[in-house]
A and B are shown apart, each in its own frame.
Chain A
Amino acid sequence: MIDRAIPLIYFAAAVSFILALMWLSAVATARRGVLVGVAGMALAVCGTLLRPEIVNYRWIAAAFVAGTVIGVPMAMMPMTAVPQRTALSHAFGALAAALVGTAEYYLRAPGIDRFTMGALSIEVLLGFLTFTASLMAFGKLQEVLPTRPITYRNQNVLNLSLFGLAAGAGAYLVARPDTAWLFPLFIAMALLFGVLLILPIGGADMPTVISLLNSYAGLSAAAMGFVLNNKLLIIAGALDGSSGFILSVIMCRAMNRSFTNVLFGAFGQVQSAAVAEPERRTVRSATPEEAVDILRAANRVIVVPGYGMAVAQAQHKVRELYDALTKAGVDVKFAIHPVAGRMPGHMNVLLAEADIPYDKLMEMDDVNSEFPQADVALVIGANDVTNPAARHDRGSPIYGMPILDVDKARTVMVVKRSMSPGFAGIENELYYMDRTLMVFGDAKAVVGGIVKELAGGAG
């Protein structure tokens, strides 16, 4: 009886996941999306627990408790740490798929049919390489590992050969599943490749890498679906795989880079062209008091937040600034570049956490036409995404990258710690424009000062 109900339960779970993604498309329905996703997962888990093959529940129960004990604190991390958390959870997800694949191999090994073994090879290869690659990404984001690219001679040749060897071992196992000695070697190569894959990738490229690893974790779950002949796993894995893929394409496009360039280009390393010492040009610096006078006279202000703002923990001060200006009748909007922050959409979450209404957060394509009408563009902790060189300087490493047209505003105000160049090590010509005022200092202190001054003048 229950045997016949289980496929229906799985079917309902698959439909729930599709609805979850559909409802996530807009803020108004997004929470409903999460709830239906939870329902789908609950169905999948319960349906599986009911299966007659399950003879022992004690270990499963223990694992449920352990997973919950670790999972809940991981969900309570601050929003600035979400990229690291995401990398870590990709590692767990991929490891789960890889471990199941390994167990399946040893359970079925010699008698396994070619097709199942093929899917199993893909599952194990993707699973283990995503596991170590995600741990590396976690290390770089958490800054326990150096964030700059680590390169050595013939790196790409070595990495590709290793991947070729691993894929070859997987293929050999498909042809000869009884080659049991090769299987651990296959795992070791996948693990090693994951580490080597991330070594040459710099911190600035992490948004793309995280998205790509998301995709791999999904694909290994889909491969498990083929091994177990379970359509629910195939659907959920494919949804996840396509999602991660699309996000990484969006990230690449936002940086005007190709996949190959992100994975093999060692960006942040190639700065030789840019370092050609610029002639000592003068910048205009201003005090927070002077900044306030300009802001007070403005009608339209566009704030351009970058990751520097989050590093300085200035989000809440920025919210106070937003409140003060809005109260004074100034129209305030936020311009969000697709790669602002450390993962896709990260900046939106950081600002939403600071209680800034989401209808004031504008995407690059929508906001760029508004800069010419803006009285002040206030750049806080953003750098490369505002560099006009991306539009006209063919020699610049960021040439062609879509940027926020900050330089078109009547006045540009840049809150920055010092004149040091950003992530990519590129000089920003925005700072030398006549219309640009540099307000030097810690973002939190400077914005706090401006807010205080604004309030003081009003009352």
Chain B
Amino acid sequence: MSADLELGLYVFVLATFLGFQLIRRVSPLLHTPLMSLTNAISAIAVVGSILVAGEQKTELSAVLGTLAVACSMINIVGGYLITYRMLRMFRKSGKGGS
């Protein structure tokens, strides 16, 4: 096993456990915004997409990469925006409104 792989596996397992701990604390009230936020975060695939699109090693890879950048960008823009929109709707009683 290469050192990179070893380190990668450690990072993966630790991040998964951290994820479990963080998500368990999220109030069920916010589960929908949680899902739209994690959805936006998983658009981190944009990193790989930009590399493949920008390196332009072959025509095929450039086309696939560009498509992937567009797909990721939809989730980045749409995901964060809708999460923010949702959270703005949550208000406590006695604040705002009539």
Q: Which residues of A contact B (CB under 8 A)?
A: 17-18, 20-22, 24-27, 30-31, 33-34, 37-38, 40-41, 44-45, 47-49, 51, 53-57, 59-60, 62-64, 66-68, 70-72, 74-77, 79, 82, 85-86, 89-90, 92-93, 95-97, 99-100, 102-104, 106-107, 115, 210-211, 214, 217-218, 220-222, 224-244, 246-247, 250, 323, 336, 338, 343-346, 348-349, 352-353, 355, 357-361, 363
Which residues of A are found within 8 Å of B58, using beta-carbon distances? Answer: 106-107
Contact residues in A for B86 (Cβ distance below 8 Å):
79, 82, 349, 352
- The answer to whether A25 touches B29, judged by C-beta atoms less than 8 angstroms apart, is no
A126 to B63, CA, bound (A): 21
Q: How far is the CA of A184 from the CA of B34 in the complex (A)?
A: 35
Q: Is the CB of A44 within 8 A of B51?
A: no
Taking A93-B42, A230-B48 as contacts, is the C-beta distance between A53 and B54 under 8 angstroms?
Answer: yes
Of the A-B pairs whose beta carbons lie under 8 Å apart in the complex, a sample of 14, sorted by A's number, is A17-B41, A25-B30, A56-B62, A96-B75, A100-B48, A218-B42, A225-B8, A231-B8, A242-B20, A246-B19, A344-B28, A344-B32, A352-B90, A359-B93
Check B91–A357 contact: CB distance below 8 A: yes
Query: B39 contacts A70, CB within 8 Å?
Result: no
Contact call B51/A51, Cβ cutoff below 8 A: yes
Given A323-B98, A348-B32, CB of A41 within 8 Å of CB of B54: no
In the complex, the answer to whether B79 meets A89 with C-beta atoms within 8 Å is yes
Give Cα A79 to B29, complex, Å: 15
A102 touches B44 (CB 8 A): no
A67 engages B77 (CB within 8 Å): yes
When C-beta atoms are compared, the residue in chain B nearest to A127 turns out to be: B45
B residues within 8 A CB of A345? 28-35
User: Once the chains bind, are A230 and B73 in contact (CB under 8 Å)?
Assistant: no
A89 touches B51 (CB 8 A): no
Min CB–CB distance B47 → chain A (angstroms): 5
Verify A92–B72 contact, CB threshold 8 A.
yes
B12 and A233 form a contact (CB under 8 A): no
Q: Of residues B11, B29, B67, B85, which shows the largest number of chain A Cβ atoms within 10 Å of its Cβ?
A: B29
Question: CB within 8 A of A218: which of B38, B51, B87?
Answer: B38
- A269–B26 CA distance with the chains assembled, in angstroms: 34
Q: Measured between alpha carbons, how far is A67 from B74 in the docked complex, in Å?
A: 4
Q: A64-B69, A79-B86, A102-B64 are contacts. A233–B16 as well, Cβ < 8 Å? A: no
Contacts known (A104-B52, A106-B60, A228-B48); A72 close to B16, Cβ less than 8 A: no
With A31-B87, A345-B33 as known contacts, state yes or no: A59 contacts B80, CB within 8 Å.
no
Contacts of B49 in A (CB 8 A): 63, 96, 99-100
Interface positions of B (Cβ within 8 A of A): 1-2, 4-5, 7-8, 11-12, 15-20, 22-58, 60-62, 64-95, 97-98
- Assembly CA distance A92 to B38 (angstroms): 14
Q: A243 to chain B: which residues have CB within 8 Å? A: 19, 23, 34-35, 38
Chain B residues in 8 Å Cβ range of A348: 28-32
Q: How many A-B residue pairs have CB under 8 A?
A: 376
State the Cβ distance, B7 to closest chain A Cβ, in Å: 8
- B30: chain A residues at CB < 8 Å are 24-27, 30, 345, 348
Q: B35 contacts A238, CB within 8 Å?
A: no
- What residue in chain A is nearest B26 (Cβ atoms)? A25
Given contacts A21-B23, A71-B74, A361-B29, contact A41 B80 (CB under 8 A): yes
Indicate which residue in B4, B38, B65 contacts A239 across the interface (CB closer than 8 Å): B38
Interface centre among B2, B20, B35 (most CB of A within 10 A): B35
* Docked pose: A228 CA to B11 CA in angstroms: 14
Give chain B nearest CB distance to A367 CB in angstroms: 12
Q: Give the interface centre of B68, B74, B76, B82 by most chain A CB atoms within 10 Å.
A: B74
For the complex, give the distance between the alpha carbons of A217 and B33 in Å.
Answer: 17
Q: Is the CB of A22 within 8 A of B22?
A: yes
- Within the assembled complex, what's the spacing in Å between the Cα atoms of A222 and B20? 16
Contact B84 A86 (CB under 8 A): no
Bound CA–CA A165/B97 (angstroms):
58
**Chain B residues near A106 (CB-CB < 8 A):** 58, 60-61
Chain A residues near B71 (CB-CB < 8 A):
67, 92-93, 95-96, 99
Closest Cβ neighbor of B69 among chain A residues: A63
Q: Of A33, A45, A76, which contacts B46 at CB under 8 A?
A: A45
Report the separation of the CA atoms of residues A72 and B69 in the bound assembly, to the nearest whole angstrom: 16
CA of A344 to CA of B44, assembled, Å? 23
Question: Which residues on A sit within 8 Å (CB–CB) of B68?
Answer: 95-97, 99-100, 103
Interface residue from B2, B31, B77, B90 paired with A358 (Cβ < 8 Å): B90
**Given A115-B5, A235-B11 in contact, is the A100-B45 Cβ separation under 8 Å?**
yes
Given A37-B80, A96-B45, the answer on whether A241 and B19 have CB atoms closer than 8 Å is yes
With A60-B54, A238-B15 as contacts: A226 and B29 at CB distance below 8 Å: no
Please determine whether A239 and B60 come into contact, CB atoms closer than 8 angstroms. Answer: no
Task: List the A side residues contacting B38 at CB < 8 Å.
Answer: 21, 214, 218, 239-240, 243-244
Q: Which residues in A have their C-beta under 8 angstroms from that of B20?
A: 242, 246
Closest 9 CB pairs of A and B: A67-B73, A345-B31, A242-B19, A71-B77, A54-B54, A357-B93, A75-B81, A238-B15, A71-B78
